[in-house]
Amino acid sequence: MRIIFFAGKGGTGKTSIAAATGIRAAEMGKKTVIMSLDVAHSLSDIFDLEKNLLDQNKGRPVQINPDLYIQEIDIQEEIKRYWRDIHRYLSRLFNTTGLDEVLAEELAILPGMEEVSLLLYINQYVQKKEYDVILLDCAPTGESLRFISIPATLEWYMKKIFKLERTLARYVGPVAKRFTDVPLPDDDYFKALEELFGRLKGVDQILTNPKITTVRLITNPEKVVIKETQRAFMYFCLYKMSIDAIIMNRIFPQQITESYFKSWIKDQQQHREAAEHIFNPVPILSVDLFQGEILGYPKLKRLAQQLYGRKNPLQRFYKEEPYQLVKENGNYHLKLKLPFLLKKDVELNKYFDELIVRIGGFKRNILLPRQVSSKEQVNAKLDGQVLDICFKGAEDGS
Ligand SMILES: Nc1ncnc2c1ncn2[C@@H]1O[C@H](COP(=O)(O)OP(=O)(O)OP(=O)(O)O)[C@@H](O)[C@H]1O
Ligand SMILES: [Mg+2]
């Protein structure tokens, strides 16, 4: 079983590279599905597929050769399949608050529903061993980053909030009904949430197991794009996902001699060298700028050849894990490898058995193991690329 995410800034080449990797994996005899979370759904265009072939499939996988499938999630269909009760409650809620019905229906599509739907598929495919390889063509960075936080957030929500909310709805509900028209969530809503959570169970372990899941960040040799890649790198680490390669796409090929491109080529060279330092020791795989768009099977195969050469595209190109809990001199240390982090950007709070790590707009609640959560003192230091959080407590004599 192998899962690879292809993530990066808009337009860097994620869909093309996911497709090329899929072709290679299928040629190796691995049953492969390329899934897209991209609302623009460009996978079908890249493979030159008839639009109605996908429409007929309503967001289910479409087989394009014996071992290769593509799947573009259709959120309206997903709502019909999995989200009915949750969606019904939310649209009723918005509707009673004065919105017209169509708008209420639309608003009731929660941010993250597409992503959760995708997680449901991943979990199903892994548990039922339906595919050997799952490749994820992510939406541009801003949105796909929200996605990586979902499994951890859901787990936290279920452990911390869900039970409380349900009890409140049960006892407060009948009283509140007398005072307000706003509907309170009923038991169907909670049952649906609970079932959903059940279906997601285990997906976070799958995504954070580097033997199964890795991320490849697609970038271009441009300053702004590389900066965003660094940020994405750090956030993926925060959510405990392993990055096994950086893919530098759209490099001007050697044979361009026109003087017009000279400074472009020089700039690209500089950015590539900088990237080598920045991402070291994670390997960088390179792809040239092709003549024209990359459409259709033959061109995608050429892309795969450039990218991987004779290498196995499913191997883990880099193996170090970003997360460790170790005991040193009697104290527990949680070590998070967070390259590009500056100390001033990180904020830590410990709240009973939770550690809340905030970096920029991102927050991760880490549920601490028992032996650590009882410690009262928490210190953190930034040791090179590693955020070293030390937990000390009385019983250690410190
Ligand atoms: N190496 C390359 N040479 C030439 N054209 C390329 C190359 N890589 C990607 N393209 C073209 O650039 C466009 C964007 O590529 P692609 O759709 O793969 O990017 P993306 O990261 O998925 O974009 P989005 O963020 O919009 O989903 C496409 O037209 C694609 O054919
Ligand atoms: Mg795309």
Domains of the chain with bracketed CATH? 1-311 (3.40.50.300), 323-396 (2.60.40.790)
Query: What ligand 1 atom has the least distance to the C-alpha of 290?
Result: 3
Q: Atom 11 in ligand 1: which residue has the minimum CA distance?
A: 293
Order the strands of the 362-367 sheet from edge to edge: 346-351, 354-359, 362-367
Which two three-digit tokens encode residue 21? Answer: 């990797």
- Number of the ligand closest to the Cα of 217: 1
Query: Nearest ligand, CA of residue 143?
Result: 1
More confidently predicted of 320 and 71: 71
pLDDT above 50 (res 396): no
Is 397's pLDDT higher than 50?
no
Residue 391 is predicted with a pLDDT of: 86
Query: Which pLDDT belongs to residue 398?
Result: 39
How sure is the predictor about 108, in pLDDT bands with cuts at 50, 70 and 90?
A: low
State which of 48, 285, 293 you would mutate to test the pocket of ligand 1, scoring each by most atoms of that ligand within 8 A of its C-beta: 293
CA 100 – ligand 2 centroid, Å = 33
Residue 220 has pLDDT above 60, yes or no: yes
pLDDT of residue 98: 60
Q: Whose CA is nearest to atom 9 of ligand 1?
A: 13
8 Å CB contact between 246 and 285 = yes
CA of 117 to the centre of ligand 2 (A): 18
pLDDT tens-place string over residues 314-330: 999 999 876 777 888 88
pLDDT score recorded for residue 224: 93
CA distance linking residue 395 with residue 398, whole number of Å: 8
Mean pLDDT of 129-143: 87
pLDDT > 60? residue 348: yes
Atom from ligand 1 closest to the CA of residue 289: 3
Tell me: pLDDT of 131 over 90: yes
**Binding site membership of 293 for ligand 1 (Cβ less than 6 Å):** yes
Q: What percent of the chain has pLDDT over 70?
A: 78
Which tokens go with 120? 């449901």
Residue with the smallest CA separation from ligand 1 atom 4 is: 290
Of ligand 1's listed atoms, the one at least distance from the Cα of 140 is 25
Q: pLDDT averaged over the chain?
A: 82
Q: Cα(14) to centroid of ligand 1, in Å?
A: 7
> In sequence order, what DSSP letters do the residues of 19-69 get, joined into one string?
HHHHHHHHHTT--EEEEE--TT--HHHHTT--HHHHHHHTTS-EEEETTEE
Q: Name 286's Cβ contacts closer than 8 Å, sequence gap at least 6.
A: 247, 248, 249, 251, 272, 306, 307
Q: List the structure tokens of 277.
A: 């330092």
pLDDT digits (tens, 9 = 90+) for 357-383: 888 777 777 767 777 777 878 888 888
pTM over 0.95: no
Give the whole-angstrom CA distance, residue 260 versus residue 264.
8
State if residue 249 touches ligand 1 by the CB under 6 angstroms criterion.
Answer: yes
Question: Please, what is the end-to-end C-alpha distance for the chain in angstroms?
Answer: 45
CB-ligand 1 contact for 15 (6 Å cutoff): yes
* Secondary structure (DSSP) of 55-115: HHHTTS-EEEETTEEEEE--HHHHIIIIIHHHHHHHHHHHHHTT--HHHHHHHTS-TTHHH
The Cα-based distances of 213 to 4, 85, 227 in angstroms read 6, 32, 24
Give every CB contact of residue 380 below 8 A, 6+ residues apart in sequence: 346, 348, 387, 388, 389, 390
**Confidence grade of residue 353 (pLDDT, cut at 50, 70, 90):** confident
Biggest CA-to-CA distance, the chain: 78
pLDDT digits (tens, 9 = 90+) for 286-299: 999 999 999 999 99
Ligand 1 atom at minimal distance to the Cα of residue 17: 18
Distance 371 CA to ligand 1 centre (A): 48
Ligand 1 centre to CA of 16 (Å) is: 6
Q: Residue length, the chain?
A: 398
Ligand 1: does its nearest atom lie under 6 Å from the Cβ of 136? no
| 221 pocket-lining for ligand 1 (C-beta < 6 Å) | no
Q: Per-residue pLDDT for 176 more than 90?
A: no
What ligand has the least distance to the C-alpha of 9? 1
